[in-house]
Amino acid sequence: MEKRGCGILLHVTSLPSPYGIGDLGRGAYSFADFLAEAGQSFWQILPLNQTCAVYGNSPYSSFSAFAGNTLLISPDLMAEQGILLKSDIENHPVFPEKRVDYRTVTKYKDEIFKIAFEKNKDSLEDDHEFKKFSVENSHWLDDYGLFISIKKHFNKVDWGRWPEELRDRKEGTIREWKERLWETILMEKFLQFIFFRQWHLLKGYCESKNIRIIGDLPIYVNYDSSDVWSNPEIFKLNKEKKPAFIAGVPPDYFSSTGQLWGHPVYDWGVLKETKYSWWIKRMEHNLKFFHMIRLDHFRGFVGYWEIQAGEKVATNGEWVKAPAKDFFDTLLKHFHDLPVIAEDLGVITPDVREIMDQFGFPGMRVLLFAFGEDLPANPYAPHNYVKNCVAYTGTHDNNTIKGWFKKEASPEDKKRVFEYIGRKVTEKEIHWELIKLVMSSVADMAIISMQDVLGLGEKARTNLPASIEGNWRWRLVPERLSPLITKKLLEMTRIYGRG
């Protein structure tokens, strides 16, 4: 990072829009305007991958590490670009303004996508832009289009239970199914084309406002994904193509029994033999999407927690080494630089720190973790920050500042907060005081969640780890972005040299 800066953490699904979920349309452009007016340099979002109800609509669980989330396609932009008529989107349902109702949103979007495809399918053969997109992305798009189409045909059953010839991708069978499902495949490619075009227009607008976008790249992919189906050799699978081992973490801050994620783990030996070609394509893809990338669960690139498939808890696992130095050396041979933020939360061993230092990757400091008994030596306390780090009030997995202060902070924690700030503060003003601590710190970058800027309570949190219901639903009501909030954020940005 070349200079001090700051930004806001807000996922696209949380943006205002008339269609029940944040999208890449007007609400996103208005938010970029707000960031610029408030002097912000960064907009951090969560993964943009396709989500689904089966995995609780989590952006960290997807059918593809490459495909975009079509729920984020803006109907307004489709109408403006002539893909739909205005009359096609005028009679939409009345959606809740403050929460995403994924079932209703998915049903509505599926309906208008079918209309859009019927209107445009005959012209796709002569559409130069669509053909160019299809060729440039064929390395993942062909497999993804076929994968999703087959899933729909088999009523969404996971690929490990498909007929054996299809599961094992026998050449003749694949050719036959491509012909059989060509229209569904074409529609999936068409929707990805629209998503990518809308995203890159928004990214260009952010660049015109001097705002850089920080994306989020989950280390693992779902077993039931086009990535594992079409690249089974790079994962630890058994003879039946089921995971032999799964990923997770041992007991930590978020769970006393650890977390059992269920994703298949990589076979790093095979990845190394292939010179990490799948990962190189994935990084290249993401570097076109974002200006910086937060690598989720960074320590998994150095050593990962491997659990035998079938275990009910994550406790019975073991650490396995990964070839981190060779991996990042190889990536740097392909890319001029790696604008990466290492998500290094939890118990981090010296070998992980060594890799971060060697490659200059900034880590994360989360202020809400700072106020325990070990406050003087706590790495999350601002007086212990280093320049090359990204300071957060909290992440998408944390409670809001106000929610933490009200529900999670013990009387002793609060006492330490007041001593640290230098005075007693009320629940009403605590969020600005903690934002000030992060903004005034030595950290090169400060990222504040939108909910904390607005001083919202626990109901506004994005995600509660290890829980399935009610996550990823919070939405920003546009009226909350008052001129007073913009002014206060701008002043703080200026005072602490982050403009």
Name the residues annotated as catalytic.
296, 343, 397
Q: For residue 111, give the 3-state DSSP assignment.
A: helix
- The residues pairing with 99 across neighbouring beta strands, listed in sequence order, are 474
Residue indicated by tokens 């399918």: 121
| Interior/surface letters 478-488, b for 16+ CB within 10 angstroms, e for the rest | eeebeeeebee
**Tokens in use for 134?**
């299809």
Closest CA to 57 of 110, 10, 101: 101
What letter would DSSP give residue 465? Answer: T
Q: What is the C-alpha to C-alpha distance for residues 451 and 445, in angstroms, rounded to an integer?
A: 18
Name the nearest CA neighbour of 63 among 49, 48, 73. 49
DSSP for residue 216: E
Biggest alpha carbon–alpha carbon distance for the chain: 73
Radius of gyration of the chain, Cα coordinates, nearest whole angstrom: 23
Phi–psi pair at 372, nearest 5 degrees: -85, -170
Rounded Cα–Cα distance for residues 238 and 225 (Å): 17
Token code pair at residue 463: 């995600």
Residue type, 335: F
Which uninterrupted H or E stretch holds 272?
A: helix 268-273
Kindly state the tokens that stand for 365. Answer: 């400091």
Other C-beta atoms lying within 10 Å of the C-beta of residue 14: 24
Helix (H, G, I), strand (E, B) or coil at 230: helix
Quickly tell me which residue has 């609780």 as its tokens: 56
**Length, in residues, of the chain:** 499
